[in-house]
Structure 1
Amino acid sequence: MKQTFQLNRRFDEESAIQLPASYLQQHSLVANTSIELSFGSKTVRCRVTENNECDQSVYLSDSLWEQLKLPFETSIHLFYQNGCLLMGPLVGIFTAGFTSSKQFPLGQRTSQYAKILQSQEDIGGFYFVFGHHLIDWENGEINGYFLNDGSWTLLTVPFPNVIYNRIPNRRTENLETIQSTKKKFETEYAIPYFNPNFFNKQEIHERLSKDDTVLPFLPESLVKPSSHELKALLSKYKHLYLKPIEGSHGEQIKQIIKLPEEPYFYCRYHDEDQIRLRRYSSLTRLLQHEYPDGLEDVIVQQGIHLLKLGKQPMDFRIHTNKNIDGRWEITAIAAKKAGWQSVTTHIHRGGEVISVDDLVHDGLLSKKRVSQLKRAALTLSHALDHQLEGCIGEIGFDLGIDENGDVWLFEANSKPGRLIFEQGKLKREDIISRELPLEYAIYLSKRAFESPHQFINQLIT
């Protein structure tokens, strides 16, 4: 963790900031000289004075506090470059689904955001939640929801240094108001905006297929297949998974099975809380009934015989995040055992979350295989980071290990849910996976402030 400073407000009329003597010396700053002071998109001119105490406190005069619209006293980071000092950073979490409640501004999702922001005092900086309706474009300000002393407060602040995208679903993200807001922040204000979009399964497959380092992890797949191609793949693997290209949470996934000793084709899928199994005399009839509109929006993946826990297959959810140095690291890993006869391992389909440490301790999973999974997740993270545009700060992977010990990628999620880590022994993983996006926001703030042209050019290319 980078060094933080305690920011305090001083009630006087002098436009001055008082910095620790060690900071002045480190950056060759001379007391009683003038600098530019920035908070978010707001910049003012002020005088620098020296704090001769031994602590690492920063004191800001009342007039500067009001001009910059600082929310409250807290720990902050300082970045200095070419006569300009940035305090903060100020980070906005962009989402939707706001209510009129002051206590629960995001309804049932309020607690999720409260958990994310609970780490801000230790990490340093200002973090708030906002929606497109809270933006004042004319004055360059946002009415943001801040969590201070456990309570939500709506405060007006400048535009942030960085935006963390947490729009909750694809339908909302595709709305014109959301897309235009995103574009305006990126193009007109050059504000770093990370995790810009939900992943599209077709795009992810096509991009990763260009990278030799991850080809061994990719199941054989078909995008918008013809019935002839589907039949050939089914003959090769005996069972296939058909997934909506824009799908999430395991919705509308179907399994097609063709046993060699039987003439029939079977289709398994979830219908609300029930598991359906339909039998067809031909693949043509199956497709006509199950996919009357065709397979234009479907990706097909080979079936894989996964490791089992008891009689049930299991796969693994692994979260990777970029840290405060902009490097990928594993933040969480858990096993998911499929529910009885379930098509997938999703929790809402009866799946069970199990600690990987428990599996290793009980001799049900080797440390070697855990290392395989972690290496694969990091390799895939680097590959996606290289292949996709924009800033990606976190990814949730669904990986599997087959009976031969090979690792396979099933899903990559740009806005992974964290419900899986709120159970049992996975609390630590839950905390770390929530802290790292805030740390990555600090990294982006520093880069964009110190090398703005280089940073913008890298985003464009």
Structure 2
Amino acid sequence: MPSKKLKIQIMSPNLLESDYVVLGDQLIKQWRIPVHHRMQLVFGSLRQTVRVVPLSKFDGIRISQQLAAQMGVQPRASLRLTYRPHSTTLQFGPLLGVLISKDYPDSPERPFGPITMFCKELVNACQLQGVYVYFFTTDQIGANSSSVSAWVYGDGWKKSQVPAADVFYNRLTSRKLENKPSVQHFLKEVKSRYGSHFFNEKFLDKTEVFDALSRDPSISKYLPESYAFQGLQTLKAMCAKHPVVFLKPIKGSLGKGIIRVSRLEGGAFQTQTAQVGGTRRQAYPSLAKLYTSLSGKMKATRYQIQQGLSLIEADRRPIDFRALVQKNLSGNWNVTSIVARTAGGHHFVSNLARGGSLSTVKEAVLKSSLPPNLKGKIPLKLRKAALYIADAVDHQIPAHFGELGIDLAVDNTGHIWLLEVNSKPSKNDNTPIGVGKIRPSVKQVVEYTRYLSGF
């Protein structure tokens, strides 16, 4: 049965009783919905017995204030509606719940801090497609998984009690929050009790990704040599094979804590560490001395050791690429965007937080050190690699992902390499957009929600 987007009208109790829903007579005839008979209304985890009343020349939904309060919907919201004749069920939705790290109740204009603009853009995209969205933190998860105290948008941001959603989108930016027993219990409960879908359900760490992808022969050509760091012997073995290696915190992000180890003349070695003001360099007469100086840090944090690559450069600054890959209305992976990131003047990592700059793939490749005959092939090669890698993550890692940030590099022969896969691509308010504009990346989240929920 297809779904139809309709505008909600909330009626006062003296005009409509709580167990009645008013629909247009044309839609009732078209879908063969029985009128004045008891049937089930479903909205996320909410189950309510209602009767349908027809209204001529009407193209919307009328519900009572009491039912609206149970649903947590605001006036003038748009929802999709479908009728399931085999179970005599009217299903409203889809209902999307977005799990976020923090809210700021005392800042009504900016209740979600740096991701507020993204949240409002998601509200606008949902409204256009008839999806209802709410936002909640881990502190708003209660003992009862059937409902959540969450933020919704009506005439401004408001708190409302809402049912558990059809689809949950995990935007937590902290592993500690994600691993809270209350969060993990909630995740299991809504999946098992209500059939909810939960995507981007976990952080990825570097060792897990590379170990999993190494099991897929079709992906091996994109993988630099990479291992969980085990100590001095691992460092010696990798430095004997490669002139440069990188030590990366397994759970790191934004380029934090990355150490570049390179050979100097006469058997000495150098480390370069990314810092806020630039790169800190330190020379050591031997690998043993280098390891001794790092061993305290290595005990506190788990690291991945990875083969260094000869990346293409522009003005002697390394370039890499971030592909945003998302699932679409058909449930298939799609490359939403790829941007080039050029490292800042005193950095060897390209993250914006470290002074890096963004440009289009074409601009960066044209300025790069790559031979001219290879430059035209790079955009398509990057797209193909991103899709192959996303597909391999799906098959090799037992978790549900709907979007991935895939960091890729190109060496001076035009070969594509995987640097990192991120299951929580940034949504901070650092991308200027026009008022009312909705980016493809936000629209895609809504479309995948519709796919998962069957709307």
Q: Please, what TM-score do these two structures have when normalized by structure 2?
A: 0.88
Q: Is the 8 A contact 2:9 2:61 kept in 1?
A: yes
Q: Say which SS state the counterpart of residue 206 (structure 1) adopts.
A: helix
Q: Is the 8 A contact 2:317 2:348 kept in 1?
A: no
Query: Structure 1 residues 66 and 281, CA, compared in 2 at 3 Å: closer, same or farther?
Result: closer
What pairs with 1:222-261 in structure 2 (closer than 5 Å)? 222-259=227-264, 261=265
Letter of the 2:320 counterpart: D
Deviation, 1:377, is 0.7
Letter of the 1:6 counterpart: K
What pairs with 1:8-27 in structure 2 (closer than 5 Å)? 8-11=9-12, 12-14=15-17, 15-20=19-24, 23-25=27-29, 27=31
Q: Say which SS state the counterpart of residue 439 (structure 2) adopts.
A: helix
The equivalent of 1:206 in structure 2 is 211
Q: Is the 8 A contact 1:321 1:328 kept in 2?
A: yes
Query: Structure 1 residues 62 and 279, CA, compared in 2 at 3 Å: closer, same or farther?
Result: closer
Q: Is the 8 A contact 2:145 2:190 kept in 1?
A: no
**In terms of mean alpha carbon deviation, does 140-149 or 376-385 score higher?**
140-149
Letter of the 1:440 counterpart: Y
Separation in structure 1 between the aligned mates of residue 286 and residue 388 of structure 2, nearest angstrom: 41
Report the aligned-residue RMSD: 2.9
Match 1:74 to one of 72, 77, 82: 77
Query: Structure 1 residues 398 and 192, CA, compared in 2 at 3 Å: closer, same or farther?
Result: same
The equivalent of 1:292 in structure 2 is 296
**In terms of mean alpha carbon deviation, does 294-303 or 363-372 score higher?**
363-372
1:374 aligns with 2:376: no
The equivalent of 2:111 in structure 1 is 105
The equivalent of 2:5 in structure 1 is 4
Q: Say which SS state the counterpart of residue 13 (structure 1) adopts.
A: coil
Query: Structure 1 residues 159 and 69, CA, compared in 2 at 3 Å: closer, same or farther?
Result: same
Match 2:355 to one of 350, 371, 378: 350
Letter of the 1:432 counterpart: P
Query: Structure 1 residues 220 and 116, CA, compared in 2 at 3 Å: closer, same or farther?
Result: same
Q: Say which SS state the counterpart of residue 440 (structure 1) adopts.
A: helix
Q: Deviations over 1:146-190 (max 9, x none)?
A: 1224x2111122222221111122233233443343344334554
Separation in structure 2 between the aligned mates of residue 39 and residue 307 of structure 1, nearest angstrom: 52
1:142 aligns with 2:151: no
Q: Is the 8 A contact 1:241 1:254 kept in 2?
A: yes
1:128 aligns with 2:149: no
Letter of the 2:448 counterpart: Y
Letter of the 1:96 counterpart: S
Percent of counterpart pairs with the same letter? 28
The equivalent of 1:47 in structure 2 is 51
Q: Deviations over 1:105-125 (max 9, x none)?
A: 333443342333232211222
Q: Say which SS state the counterpart of residue 197 (structure 1) adopts.
A: coil
Deviation, 1:137, is 3.4
Deviation, 1:229, is 3.2
**In terms of mean alpha carbon deviation, does 76-85 or 290-299 score higher?**
290-299
Q: Is the 8 A contact 1:254 1:343 kept in 2?
A: no
Q: Is the 8 A contact 1:74 1:125 kept in 2?
A: no
Query: Structure 1 residues 239 and 2, CA, compared in 2 at 3 Å: closer, same or farther?
Result: farther
Deviation, 1:50, is 3.8
Q: Is the 8 A contact 2:322 2:407 kept in 1?
A: yes
Q: Deviations over 1:386-427 (max 9, x none)?
A: 2222321110011011111111110110011145971699x9
Deviation, 1:27, is 3.8
Query: Structure 1 residues 131 and 229, CA, compared in 2 at 3 Å: closer, same or farther?
Result: closer
User: Which segments of 5 or more consecutive residues in structure 2 lack a partner in the other structure?
Assistant: none
Question: How many residue pairs align between the two structures?
Answer: 442
Q: Say which SS state the counterpart of residue 454 (structure 2) adopts.
A: helix
**In terms of mean alpha carbon deviation, does 92-101 or 105-114 score higher?**
105-114
Deviation, 1:433, is 1.3
The equivalent of 1:389 in structure 2 is 398
Separation in structure 2 between the aligned mates of residue 289 and residue 75 of structure 1, nearest angstrom: 60
Q: Is the 8 A contact 2:329 2:447 kept in 1?
A: yes
Q: Please, what TM-score do these two structures have when normalized by structure 1?
A: 0.87
